[in-house]
Amino acid sequence: MPEMLQGKDKILLFRKYTDRDKAAAKLVFQTEHTFSYSRELESIVTKDGTVVQVGELESAVSISAIQAKDDPVREMLEDAVKSGSRLEVWEVTVDEDLRDDDGKYPAVYCQGYLDSWENPANVEEQSNIESNLVVELEPQTGMATLTEEQEQAVQYAFTDTVPESENDNGNDDGGEGNEGEDGDGDTPS
C-alpha cells in the first residue's frame, strides 16, 4: 500500500551562486513552500480543428517562513533580492524510506532570482518571511547529499541521558539498538 509523503519532510536549502565553494544551508523555521510549473498553451483554431501551440516551461518557488532573530540564510536571501544575485535552491525530501544506499535523498535543484521579499509583522503573530524565486531554465531532479550540519538543522538525533564521554560504546546509530551501558536493555541506576 502506498504511503503518503509528508510536506514537513521537504525542506529548502539555499546558496548564492557565487558561493559555490560553500555548502548550501537551510532557512530556519520554514512553514511552507511551493514548487510550481506552468506553461502557456495557445489554442489555434484551424479548418481541420483546434491545435495547441505549447509555450516554454516556467517555474517558480514560493517560500514562507517564520523569521528567526539571527539567521544568516534569511540575511543572505534578503540581500540577494536587493542585489539581484543568482541563487541555487534544492528541495530535498528528507525521508529515510527514500534515502538511497549512498545516503542521498531525492531532490529538485534549480537556479534563479528572488523577485519579491515581504516581511509582514502582525501584532498578534510571529514576524514572517514571504518570497518568490523565479527559476531560470528548467529544474533538475537527482539525489542530494546532506552534510552532518544540514541533517542537524533538519532534526536532531536521539541522544542518551548519560554524558557523551560515558556513552561512547560504539553505538552512534541515532538511537537504534539503544541498550543501556550494561548491555541488558535497561539503563543502569
Domains and CATH numbers, the chain: 7-154 (2.30.110), 157-189 (no CATH)
Q: What is the pTM of this model?
A: 0.76
Q: Dig out the grid coordinates for 186 from the structure.
A: 535497561
- pLDDT per residue, tens digit, the chain (189 aa), is 888 888 988 999 999 999 999 999 999 999 999 999 999 999 999 999 999 999 999 999 999 999 998 899 999 999 999 999 999 999 999 888 898 999 899 999 999 999 999 988 888 889 999 999 999 999 999 999 888 888 777 765 555 656 766 555 544 444 444 444 444 444 444
Determine the pLDDT at residue 125.
86
